[in-house]
């Protein structure tokens, strides 16, 4: 077993590489290693292979990579590590179908990028967050802030469970309170009705969607128009607040989500 304190043992920011086989080209600043373990404070990276370019500040781990740290566990076929001249890790990029597990939540994407300083994880390429028991969040891009336990979802931000779905332009999701705030235009679909609004706040613990207007709700063969409405989707109940009207006629409303 070989150990390399890559930046010198005296430098607090340096990470340590442990491996079964290690080949170092000192002149070119290139390191190759097999059965690798990288320790960076509380974070541990393991992989079958490592190719590290010292001057480029880049290392590639391959063959099935596992990263365990304060944020959770990250797995991917390939992981690139970016570091400074003092060998401080600045970015971890997992590709090839990455999967991140934190508590009982699973975030998957084609690419997951971790910022070691902030603990923020960015998902790109079909990011999908699964939250038990049945909530699924999708978007074009996601930023999971592990320390704050929040999630930013870029357009189209979609939340779906067994009761229905709501979709907006962007969204902020608080994982502790299970509450999502969506900016419009917003479309929604539940057993109690479907329709559109300018913004929405969804409480998945209470089973409630607060809609801000103008709000239009298709209910059977009628369209309800209001400035505010609350959908209690588990109860199949809609509460309309303020001035409203019901139009018994066909009208174009979003068929999705």
φ and ψ of 249, to 5 deg:
-165, 165
Each residue's pLDDT tens digit in the chain (257 positions)? 455 544 443 444 579 999 988 898 888 889 999 999 999 999 999 999 999 999 999 999 999 999 999 999 999 999 999 999 888 999 999 999 999 999 899 999 999 999 999 999 999 999 999 999 999 999 999 999 999 999 999 999 999 999 999 999 999 999 999 999 999 899 999 998 899 999 999 999 999 999 998 999 987 778 889 999 999 999 999 999 877 787 766 555 566 67
φ and ψ of 12, to 5 deg:
-65, -25
| Domain segments of the chain as ranges | 178-257
Q: Are 192 and 237 in contact (CB under 8 A)?
A: yes
Give the pTM. Answer: 0.88
Peptide bond into 214 cis (omega under 30): yes
């Amino acid at each position: 077993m070989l150990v390399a304190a890559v930046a010198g043992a005296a430098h607090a920011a340096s990470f340590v590489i442990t491996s079964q086989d290690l080949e170092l080209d000192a002149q070119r600043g290139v390191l190759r290693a097999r059965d690798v373990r990288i320790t960076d404070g509380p974070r541990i990276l393991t992989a079958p292979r490592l190719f590290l370019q010292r001057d480029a500040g880049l290392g590639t781990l391959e063959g099935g990579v596992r990263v365990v740290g304060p944020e959770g566990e990250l797995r991917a076929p390939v992981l690139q590590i970016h570091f400074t001249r003092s060998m401080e890790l600045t970015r971890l990029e997992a590709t090839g179908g990455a999967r991140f597990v934190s508590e009982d939540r699973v975030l998957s994407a084609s690419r997951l990028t971790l910022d070691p300083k902030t603990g923020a994880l960015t998902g790109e390429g079909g990011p999908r967050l699964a939250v038990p028991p049945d909530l699924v969040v999708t978007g074009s891009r996601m930023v999971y802030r592990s320390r704050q336990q929040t999630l930013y979802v870029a357009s189209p931000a979609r939340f779906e469970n067994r009761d229905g779905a709501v979709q907006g332009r962007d969204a902020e999701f608080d994982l502790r309170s299970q509450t999502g705030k969506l900016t419009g235009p917003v479309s929604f679909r539940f057993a109690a009705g479907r329709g559109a609004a300018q913004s929405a706040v969804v409480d998945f613990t209470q089973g409630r969607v607060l809609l801000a207007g103008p709000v239009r709700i298709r209910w059977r063969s009628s369209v309800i128009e209001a400035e505010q409405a609350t959908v209690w989707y588990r109860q199949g109940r809609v509460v309309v607040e303020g001035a409203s009207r019901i139009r018994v006629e066909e009208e174009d409303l979003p068929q999705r989500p």
